[in-house]
Amino acid sequence: MALSGDALRLGWDDFKAVPSHAVMLCLIYPVIGIVLARTVLGYAILPMLFPLAAGFALLGPFAAIGLYELSRRREIGEDASAWHALDVTRSPSFGAMVTLGLALLVLFLTWIATAQAIYVSTFGNTPAAGIPDFLSQVLTTPQGWQLIVLGCGTGLLFALVALGVSAVSFPLMLDRHASVMDAVTTSLRVVARNPAAMAMWGCIVAAMLVAGSLPFFLGLAVVIPLLGHASWHLYRKAVERNPDPPVMPRRSSTKRYAAHFPVSLFKGRDN
């Protein structure tokens, strides 16, 4: 609990220091969630609200890569404004991050399809008439209890897979420019060596994401940045620091003029 508590406290400090990024990065995330929900189920969304909310835990580590960059910059004393979150795209390992992010997207879509299959096998294809009717079916019938057990058990398996492969993978790729394989291997080792602490962290993440999703996903505008920053600090506490960290490439500050084209395209030439 101490590990998770320290990470959340430090993440909250980062969130307060650069709150403007919530508008640029994280208000988009609830919109994506609503679009995904409509894409998957159209108007028959009610039975999948909880799976969708819980499923954000699978995509969260990738969605927060810009937040890791902000925490990294604050840690080393560099300027950290909302726009600096986009600097993560200049990381040599950005391609690896996207690759792992796509793998998590596949895992998310597989979870949604599995949850839908569990619901259909339990209640059939008839949609719920409304929220009271749906809650009554789930909480007061044997089919509903079966749905809860199967759904939560299956969701736990998906969450364990996501936690294992991504607990520290994205911060590690950003910090050390690691490959996907090295990052995932390290993440699995961290989870294996700290099972209690990482299980607690997984429960905290899931609970906060579900809570943030309840008011039409709008609470994720706060939950996502907080968890993103906290995940960076969790990585710092779980993985030994690199004594010789790689340097993030910087954009050239040399002014280039249209009149110098095409000579200005070649680095090292006197413009």
**Is there a domain that residue 221 lies in?**
yes
Per the structure, how many domains does the chain have? 1
What is the full DSSP assignment across 42-94?
TT--GGGHHHHHHHHHHHHHHHTHHHHHHHHHHHTT----GGGGGGGGGSTTH
Q: What percentage of the chain carries pLDDT values higher than 90? A: 29
DSSP, collapsed to helix, strand or coil, labels residue 270 as coil
What is the full DSSP assignment across 154-221?
HHHHHHHHHHHHHSSHHHHHHHH---HHHHHHHHHHHHHH-HHHHHHHHHHHHHHHHHHHTTTTTTHH
Mean pLDDT computed over 18-33: 60
* Mean pLDDT score of the chain: 79
**Is there a domain that residue 271 lies in?**
no
Report the predicted TM-score, pTM, of the whole model to 2 decimal places. Answer: 0.78
**Is there a domain that residue 270 lies in?**
no
**Is there a domain that residue 240 lies in?**
yes
pLDDT tens column, 52-91: 777 777 888 898 888 899 899 989 888 877 778 888 899 9
Retrieve residue 64's tokens: 């927060």
**Is there a domain that residue 168 lies in?**
yes
pLDDT tens column, 213-229: 776 667 777 888 888 89
Lowest average pLDDT, out of 30-44, 123-137, 160-174, 257-271, goes to: 257-271
Q: Sorting pLDDT into bands at 50, 70 and 90, what band is 167? A: very high
Q: What is the residue range of 61's domain?
A: 2-265
